[in-house]
Structure 1
Amino acid sequence: MFKHILIPIDGSELSMRAARTGIELAKLCQAKVTALHVIAPFQTIAYMGAILAASEIVYNEEARANAERYLLEARQLAEAAGVPFEGEAIFGDQPCGTIVQTVADKQCDLVVMGSHGWRGMTRLLLGSETQKVLLRGNVPVLVCR
């Protein structure tokens, strides 16, 4: 049925629950999975440039380390299930756009993601990334709660 499942993860418990569901489904369908973590870029303020530059380096290193930790957890789940796995962390200011582009680039035929993630109040103001993927994507989206 499905051959390549994209699983966006943000490290929240809900996104990891969605990862487990997506991997279980991939096992049943004999599909491969790609886990994707979108890293929000450092937000700069034009004040005290040297301090901000150092902060950006620290932010990027920490964000990359967090992404690797989330992807490792997903990889371990996939390996335990015997599912082919690829993990990717991408810097992007619009997770929805990055997710939709990754679906096209990697020719995924299903997205499995949590109903909401870490974004909290900005999610309430801007709409959830899951909702945006549902509206902009051209493949089925399985939303996990």
Structure 2
Amino acid sequence: MFKYILLPTDGSELSMGAVRQGTKLAKLLGARVHAFHAIPAFHTFTYVTELLEATREEYNAQAVARAERYLAAVRDIAKAEGVPCDSSHAVCDDPYEAIVEEAQKRGCDLIVMASHGRRGAKAVLLGSETLKVLTHSKVPVLVYR
């Protein structure tokens, strides 16, 4: 069935819940996993507070360090379950595009990711990366709520 599962993470507890469930699924299926984190690109004008005072170099260093922490946590979960895991990160403007591209590039046959369940104005303003992945991915997507 599924042999290579992409586990995108933003480091949130909900996202890590999806990682734990995706890893358990991989173990049941005898599959391997690939942890992935999409780093938002640095922009001079932004609504992301951590970008407001940072220089591009400071932001990039901090963002990569944060990505490595998130990915290390996924690798630890996979190791505890005995599931082979590799990982990567990419800088992008649209995380959903990076997730879809990574799944295709790696030859993943399933994406397991969380949905934050935003509704109303928050959903319109912030959008749903999960919904965008569902809409644009040719790879099946399992959504963890």
- Shorter chain as normaliser: what TM range? 0.7 to 0.9
Residue 127 of structure 1 and its aligned partner are, at CA, apart by 2.2
Aligned sequence identity (%): 52
3-state DSSP class of the match of 1:116?
coil
1:14: which partner in 2?
Answer: 14
Distance in 2 of aligned mates of 1:113 and 1:54: 30
3-state DSSP class of the match of 2:138?
coil
3-state DSSP class of the match of 1:91?
strand
Distance in 2 of aligned mates of 1:82 and 1:139: 24
1:143: which partner in 2?
Answer: 143
Could you list the runs of 5+ residues in structure 2 that have no partner in the other structure? 46-51
Could you list the runs of 5+ residues in structure 1 that have no partner in the other structure? 46-51
Residue 116 of structure 1 and its aligned partner are, at CA, apart by 2.5
1:101: which partner in 2?
Answer: 101
Residues 104, 139 of structure 2: 8 Å contact kept? no
1:49: which partner in 2?
Answer: none
Distance in 2 of aligned mates of 1:14 and 1:36: 15
Matched AA of 1:35: A
Matched AA of 2:115: S
Structure 1 residue ranges (4+ consecutive) displaced by more than 2 angstroms after TM superposition? 121-124
When the two chains are superposed, the root-mean-square deviation of aligned CA atoms in Å is: 1.9
1:39: which partner in 2?
Answer: 39
**What TM-score, normalized by structure 1, do the two folds share?**
0.87
Distance in 1 of aligned mates of 2:23 and 2:59: 30
**Which aligned pairs between 1:55-94 and structure 2 lie closer than 5 A?**
55-94=55-94
